[in-house]
């Protein structure tokens, strides 16, 4: 059968289908949509009915479909087109390297006689009108399906974010939207302003920014440090945290910027054997007044309103980091400076 395929090179679909069947996690293969452009190459005949009773003309029929391969050999004409599902079948016939042909039963929907314009229209209907899956819901499902040891090793950001959500001692407990319908949460009187993916991204920023946190070999210790940091944020930014409708702190730009800052503060603390909420709060007090997180704040260099995206978060985090000071560090440098000047005057 000669098929036309404008495909996306997705070997992941091939690997998904060919893997050994895991009865605990069955595979699903959405049907492929094909169109027989040339009616002469196919013969469709009824072979029976779903039952022997009633009016057979009103009951669903079974059909036998026969393709005349002799009429489809040679030339460049496309007799059967894959309208949708090309990425799932891209390596179905294998390749010249390591992939063998797939021996799998594949569901399909067959249309007959559509022209190319109708095929394009149907492809758009299928793909343009799909509703994307909530990424937070997907991340939570993936986390719960993954054994904890593998999750900690391969996705530490997701594992820590999930702990922050589930831990009653975490400031994020009960505040994070995990996917699904937000309407049902509102009916229950629950308002969750942060989605799980934003929190996971924030944790990834902290892990990426901090150097000393990776000196902990136990991920639970890493989690406790990050939890302490967010508890310190909640304490210092108490008003902004308590009123997320009025402030932008718990919006994406706030979570990301404070996460980037978190990596810096955590390193300053760990380098001085500090790790408590109080010790981290001391640093956060230094930056608390740098920006106005009120969403209705007047335009100016202190206003966060109007800022969004990763670049904005990096700018905010950088400005906040510039406000950080270490009293002990300043004292050491002042003493050193005094000694240097004294030595200079004596020389």
pLDDT of 278-304, one tens digit each?
999 999 999 999 999 998 988 887 889
Tokens of 154: 């391969």
- Strands 42-49 and 61-67 come out as antiparallel
Say if pTM beats, i.e. exceeds, 0.85.
no
Residue 321 has pLDDT above 70, yes or no: yes
Mean pLDDT for the chain?
A: 81
Q: What is the pLDDT of residue 342?
A: 77
How far is the C-alpha of 324 from the C-alpha of 317, rounded, in Å? 11
- Strands 80-84 and 3-4 come out as parallel
How far is the C-alpha of 40 from the C-alpha of 112, rounded, in Å? 10
Residue 313 has pLDDT above 80, yes or no: yes
Q: Could you tell me if 210 and 268 are in contact, meaning their C-beta atoms sit under 8 angstroms apart?
A: no
Q: What is the pLDDT of residue 96?
A: 72
Tokens of 40: 């002469």
3-state DSSP call for residue 322? coil
Residue 187 has pLDDT above 50, yes or no: no
How far is the C-alpha of 330 from the C-alpha of 332, rounded, in Å? 5
How far is the C-alpha of 164 from the C-alpha of 156, rounded, in Å? 12
How far is the C-alpha of 192 from the C-alpha of 250, rounded, in Å? 10
Q: Average pLDDT for residues 125-140, to the nearest whole number?
A: 68
How far is the C-alpha of 249 from the C-alpha of 304, rounded, in Å? 9
């Amino acid at each position: 059968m000669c098929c036309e395929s404008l495909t996306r090179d997705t070997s992941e679909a091939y690997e998904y289908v060919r893997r050994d069947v895991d009865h605990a996690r069955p595979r699903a293969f959405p049907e492929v949509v094909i169109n027989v452009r040339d009616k002469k190459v196919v013969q469709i005949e009824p072979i029976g009915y779903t039952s022997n009773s009633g009016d057979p003309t009103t009951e669903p029929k079974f059909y036998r479909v026969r393709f005349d391969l002799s009429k489809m050999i040679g030339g460049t004409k496309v007799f059967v087109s894959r309208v949708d599902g090309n990425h799932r079948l891209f390596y179905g016939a294998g390749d010249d390297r390591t992939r063998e042909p797939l021996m799998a039963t594949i569901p399909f929907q067959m249309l007959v006689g559509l022209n190319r314009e109708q095929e394009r229209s149907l492809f758009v209907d299928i793909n343009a009108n799909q509703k994307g899956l909530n990424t937070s819901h997907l991340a939570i499902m993936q986390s719960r399906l993954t054994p904890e040891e593998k999750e900690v090793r391969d996705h530490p950001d997701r594992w820590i974010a999930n702990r922050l959500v589930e831990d009653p001692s975490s400031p994020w407990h009960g505040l994070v939207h995990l996917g699904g319908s937000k309407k049902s949460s509102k009916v229950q009187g629950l308002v969750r302003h942060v989605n799980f993916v934003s929190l996971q991204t924030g944790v990834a920023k902290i892990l990426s920014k901090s150097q000393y946190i990776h000196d902990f070999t136990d991920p639970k210790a890493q989690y406790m440090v990050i939890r302490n940091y967010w508890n310190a944020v909640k304490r210092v930014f108490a008003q902004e945290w308590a009123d997320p409708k009025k402030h932008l702190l718990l919006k994406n730009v706030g979570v990301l910027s404070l996460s980037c800052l978190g990596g810096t503060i955590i390193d300053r603390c760990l380098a001085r054997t500090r790790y408590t909420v109080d010790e981290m709060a001391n640093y956060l007090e230094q930056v608390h007044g740098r920006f106005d997180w009120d969403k209705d704040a007047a335009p100016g260099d202190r206003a966060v309103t109007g800022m969004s995206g990763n670049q904005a978060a990096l700018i905010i985090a950088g400005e906040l980091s510039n406000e950080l000071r270490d009293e002990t560090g300043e004292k050491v440098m002042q003493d050193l400076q005094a000694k240097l000047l004294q030595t200079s005057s004596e020389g």
